[in-house]
Amino acid sequence: MLLRVLSLLCCACSFAVVAAPLPIPDQGPALRIQGSNTIGAALGPALVEGLMEHRGLQSVHREPGGGANEQRVVGKTRQGKTVTIDVAAHGSSTGFAALKKASADLAASSRPIKDSELVDLEPLGDLKSPEAEQVIAIDGLAIILNPRNPLNTLNTEQLAQIFNGEISTWEALGGIGGPIHLYARDDQSGTYDTFKELVLRLRGKPLAASAKRFESSEQLSDAVSQDPQGIGFIGLPYVRQAKAVAIVDGDSQPMLPLNSLIATEDYPLSRRLFFYLPPSNPTPWAKALVDFTQSRQGQAIVAANGFIAQQVQAMAVEPRASMPEDYQAIARDAQRLTVNFRFEEGSASLDNKAHQDLQRVVAYLKSHDKLNKQVTLVGFGDAKDDPQRAALLSKLRAMAVRRELVKSGVVLRDIRGFGAQMPVAANTADEGRIKNRRVEVWVY
């Protein structure tokens, strides 16, 4: 009986925390979000709607905001009081500028905060701290061809040269078909922003003026699927009848745009989407939105909007001859979780996404009864002059993850370090080296 009473009390406490009312201003919006178009165009407003409905607001809907790429989400309390949240989507940098001017409470960004912005916003607290920097979703792009195009693989350098116009014929890529026809989203598109960031900007190349531009993802995909000489880039939900090709970055294996490879951030054309919450004095609605976004309900909204949610699942991996023999043995006997732990630049400290992922992994292990010697951690790193040093550093990274998991009662089965083997990105740039420094989680 006592246990039942305690259980009911715990449930009541939990419900009270969730349902705690949020302050409603007498005038003006309850929350102001500015920044990334990738987030602000649809995902941000959808998350706001989800939060409002979760908090019991009624008649939740969107209205046009005060300008282009601006929206207002409106709901009513049971007492009839109106609550509004403003979402402006003018680009990631505008979010940080708005935080500085105190014209926004939360910044949405499709890239990490820059060092210059970090210094500029120091009066608001450390925006690189775990409570401030919140990874809310993973974004990924597919490169699509006509289904009859025989090419199956392209590398990121070729992609930059193709969409810049330097490579202009399929014959130059070892294919057939004559001139390459480029298809791209318009300048207002978050998909275009992603492609520009991951492919063109890193190599200092603009998009060729000859590219046909599309406002509609569906129309772009259908146009490529009907053009034997066409190539385009598209969000994952819009491949449709076209053919997605595998992408190589540096010495990585060719990777298709599979949800599992984007979730682990191994796929070369994947990136993180962020909310930045000023830690010194966060508004209650901003904190509530961040917490809701990281919940199961919030991540379901992420997935429904075409992005990759941060939900942990187990996946089988087919052993390949190119894998180290010891790694093949793990793949034969275990399943890999759809999460990779990564680290701060130049550090053995877990990055902020990894801290969130620790909670998700522990929850998965508990729910699947895998806390006792059913987990192997596999570490990797970037290339070093001494392979033995690379192997040691990769194992040390795995041990850093183990230290955190042990705090939650996880007893590891094994820890392995594979050094610079099996890179997922080029080691020629910081972004690639950071992606290669990773720890995988395998469950038996």
Cβ atoms of residues 92 and 271 within 8 Å: no
**pLDDT score at 19:** 55
How far is the C-alpha of 126 from the C-alpha of 279, rounded, in Å?
7
Assigned token pair, 334 = 């275990």
How far is the C-alpha of 284 from the C-alpha of 105, rounded, in Å?
10
- List the chain pLDDT tens, one digit each, 444 residues: 433 433 444 443 333 344 578 999 999 999 999 999 889 989 999 999 999 999 999 999 999 999 989 999 999 999 999 999 999 999 899 999 999 999 999 999 988 999 999 999 999 999 999 999 999 999 889 999 999 999 999 999 999 999 999 999 999 998 888 999 999 998 877 788 889 988 998 888 999 999 999 988 899 999 999 999 999 999 887 899 999 999 999 999 999 999 999 999 999 999 899 999 999 989 999 999 999 999 999 999 999 998 999 999 999 999 999 999 999 999 999 999 999 999 988 777 899 999 999 999 999 999 999 999 999 999 999 888 788 998 999 999 999 999 999 999 999 999 999 999 999 998 887 888 999 999 999 999
Mean pLDDT of the chain: 92
Question: Residue 443 is inside which H or E element, if any?
Answer: strand 438-443
Cβ atoms of residues 88 and 99 within 8 Å: no
Domains of the chain: 20-132+277-304 (3.40.190.10), 139-262 (3.40.190.10), 312-443 (3.30.1330.60)
Assigned token pair, 83 = 């609550």
The DSSP bridge partners found for residue 73 are 62, 85
Strands 243-244 and 153-155: unpaired
Strands 153-155 and 438-443: unpaired
How far is the C-alpha of 163 from the C-alpha of 169, rounded, in Å?
11
Q: How far is CA 54 from each of CA 33, 75, 83, 297, 394, rounded to the nearest angstrom?
A: 19, 12, 14, 9, 42
Nearest to 286, CA basis, from 95, 60, 111: 95
Helix and strand numbers (H, E) in the chain are 15, 18
Q: Give the largest Cα separation in the chain, rounded.
A: 79
How far is the C-alpha of 87 from the C-alpha of 105, rounded, in Å?
11
How far is the C-alpha of 225 from the C-alpha of 423, rounded, in Å?
32
pLDDT digits (tens, 9 = 90+) for 111-123: 899 999 999 999 9
Nearest to 260, CA basis, from 352, 340, 377: 340
pLDDT digits (tens, 9 = 90+) for 287-317: 999 999 999 999 999 999 989 999 999 999 9
Strands 230-235 and 181-185: parallel
Report pTM. 0.85
